[in-house]
């Protein structure tokens, strides 16, 4: 192996998130504009009717990506916003159904040896969820048997409000594990800093979640990770359509997300075996402590993980110059590896995108804004969200782009709020109203040939899929996808903690999987027209139209 590779491993082993604290404080002013929000709960209503225009900006060539990387050169600017991990496309698998997602989680919990890390909005309380908990307990018990190596460590991150709702909830489901395996088990409950004071006292359950939640969906087992928009709940395991991608044996990606979830867990309330909660020593309390201090401290801690990964990428690029001197030697080694069937097949890049606006982190927003304007008139973007509630900024970018757009959302009857009681029951109608306004803008601007809306239909199912597929001009398969928890709406951008990944690939098999995924979802859809809004289920009451401009920022 070439000498620079040994140096790289040495530096990687020394450079840890703890060391990143100093680097974070220095690099923050270069890598990201600071969020100017003051953070007061009283001011939560202030930005509801206005959003900042996306600022056009020019980004220099990104480190670590070369012009010879083919399709990747179209998206190399992403490395200016996020760390990038190069992996074999053959290690990435698209899951297609809720049951496949559920079985993948269960099977990997059972075989995990070192770590299980799961981040979700909540854990349900039904039989299927109990089977998941039982799988975790079996894995923990197995790891305690003599001769099985280090004990398995389990870390679960949920939202405090959603995880505490009702007498039987996520906490009561996990307490038995905490009581039996306290040294191996960690349950963290994130509490938004925006829900505090009088607002926290007066907001009832269910409604308090509208202020902001932990919304990341990451399920990690040793060196494999599933990124999704699905929660750990029975409907997401049976008849609620979402998206799911499994990255198998991708250690660097798994390490990053384990560190990210761990960092969010560090700034969250810790659940104890007696059902009490407390903050880790030295951490600012999210609603009893100072709002600005909590956000600043949490941001620094979480960005330490991001900047550690980015610095490693930068150092790797810096050493490429030294490695050029040994290019001939490495080429010879590569030829030998190919002869032995060990050729470097890392033809895919994975960029983790984090969005935590309450903490001043907006990587995903920056990348999404730029991506929505990429592509010429011959490019096509397929974009989907369970809730059609694009931010005004995203809508403007779509309407001003050159690429064709095919936007898929839930029809009223497959919306998760369809048939709900009270105000929640009006939410599907509010989405219809937003879609009709957007469709009207498309027609008014003469964009009907370029921007198309679709509705997903499936009896007895609900629709929760989100993300996009990017087709470059002249390409019959997508080369990029976004997949994860964001919905492209106001909440995703401004209120919740979100994470997704951008996958950029030249692997034909993976690109075929992505094409099949998007076609499978769109096959169950119909294109929106003026007649769509005349259907009885699309009728919107006057009071819903009046309150939608405010309510759309909370759901």
The residues that are catalytic are: 215, 217, 222
Looking only at the bridges linking them, the beta strands covering 480-484 and 498-505 are antiparallel
Can you tell me the distance from the alpha carbon of 84 to that of 69, in angstroms, rounded to the nearest whole number? 14
User: Per the structure block, which two tokens stand in for 340?
Assistant: 């032995």
Write the DSSP symbol of residue 123. Answer: B
Reported residue count of the chain is 555
Phi and psi for 199 in degrees, rounded to 5? -60, -40
Write the DSSP symbol of residue 374. Answer: -
Can you tell me the distance from the alpha carbon of 497 to that of 500, in angstroms, rounded to the nearest whole number? 11
Can you tell me the distance from the alpha carbon of 536 to that of 244, in angstroms, rounded to the nearest whole number? 33
Can you tell me the distance from the alpha carbon of 323 to that of 51, in angstroms, rounded to the nearest whole number? 47
Can you tell me the distance from the alpha carbon of 383 to that of 392, in angstroms, rounded to the nearest whole number? 16
Q: Are 424 and 376 in contact (CB under 8 A)?
A: no
- For tokens 């050729």, the residue is 343
Q: Count the neighbouring beta carbons within 10 Å of the beta carbon of residue 254.
A: 22
Write the DSSP symbol of residue 51. Answer: -
Beta bridge partners of 85: 350
Instruction: List, in sequence order, the alpha helices (H) in 286-412.
Output: 291-318, 320-324, 327-339, 363-372, 392-400
Can you tell me the distance from the alpha carbon of 8 to that of 341, in angstroms, rounded to the nearest whole number? 24
User: Per the structure block, which two tokens stand in for 261?
Assistant: 């979830």
């Amino acid at each position: 192996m070439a000498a620079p590779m040994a140096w790289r491993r040495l530096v990687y082993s020394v450079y840890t998130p703890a060391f990143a604290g100093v680097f974070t404080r220095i690099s923050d002013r270069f890598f990201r504009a600071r969020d100017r929000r003051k953070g007061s709960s009283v001011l939560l209503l202030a930005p509801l009717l206005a959003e900042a225009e996306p600022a056009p900006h020019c980004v220099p060539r990104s480190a670590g990506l070369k012009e010879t990387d083919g399709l990747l050169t179209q998206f190399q600017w992403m490395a200016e916003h996020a760390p990038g991990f190069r992996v074999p496309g053959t290690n990435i698998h698209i899951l297609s159904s809720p049951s496949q997602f559920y079985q993948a989680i269960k099977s990997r919990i059972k075989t995990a040896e070192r770590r299980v890390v799961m981040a979700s909005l909540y854990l349900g309380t039904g039989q299927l969820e109990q089977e998941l908990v039982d799988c975790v307990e079996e894995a923990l018990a197995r790891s305690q048997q003599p001769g099985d190596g280090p004990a398995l460590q389990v870390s679960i991150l949920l939202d405090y409000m959603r995880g505490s709702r009702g007498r039987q909830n996520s906490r009561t489901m996990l307490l038995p594990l905490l009581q039996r395996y306290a040294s191996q088990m960690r349950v963290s409950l994130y509490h938004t800093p925006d829900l505090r004071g009088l607002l926290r006292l007066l907001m009832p359950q269910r409604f308090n979640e509208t202020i902001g939640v932990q919304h990341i969906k990451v399920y990690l087992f040793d060196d494999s990770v599933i990124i999704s928009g699905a929660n750990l709940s029975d409907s997401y395991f049976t008849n609620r359509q979402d998206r799911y991608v499994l990255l198998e044996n991708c250690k660097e990606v798994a390490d990053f997300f384990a560190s990210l979830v761990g960092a969010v867990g560090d700034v969250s309330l810790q659940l104890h075996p007696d059902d009490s909660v407390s903050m880790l020593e030295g951490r600012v309390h999210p609603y009893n402590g100072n709002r600005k201090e909590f956000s600043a401290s949490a941001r620094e801690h979480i960005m330490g993980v991001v900047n550690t990964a980015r610095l490693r990428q930068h150092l790797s690029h810096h050493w490429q110059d030294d490695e050029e001197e040994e290019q001939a030697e490495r080429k010879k080694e590569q030829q030998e590896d190919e002869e032995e069937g060990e050729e470097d097949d890392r033809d895919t890049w994975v960029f983790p995108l984090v969005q935590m606006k309450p903490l001043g982190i907006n990587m995903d927003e920056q990348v999404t804004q730029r991506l929505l304007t990429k592509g010429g008139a011959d490019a096509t973007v397929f974009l989907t969200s369970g809730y059609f509630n694009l931010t005004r900024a995203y809508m403007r970018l779509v309407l001003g782009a050159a690429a064709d757009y095919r936007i898929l959302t839930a029809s009223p009857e497959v919306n998760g709020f369809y048939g709900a009681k009270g105000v929640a029951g009006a939410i599907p109608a509010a989405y219809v109203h937003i879609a009709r306004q957007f469709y009207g803008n498309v027609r008014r601007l003469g964009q009907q040939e370029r921007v198309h809306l679709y509705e997903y239909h499936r009896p007895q199912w609900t629709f929760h899929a989100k993300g996009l597929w990017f087709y470059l001009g002249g390409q019959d398969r997508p080369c990029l996808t976004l997949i994860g928890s964001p919905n492209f709406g106001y909440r995703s951008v401004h209120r919740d903690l979100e994470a997704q990944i951008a996958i950029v690939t030249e692997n034909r098999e993976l690109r075929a999987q992505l094409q099949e995924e998007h076609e499978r979802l769109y096959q169950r859809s119909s294109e929106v027209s003026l007649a769509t809004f005349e259907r009885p289920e699309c009728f919107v009451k006057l009071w819903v139209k009046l309150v939608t401009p405010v309510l759309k920022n909370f759901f």
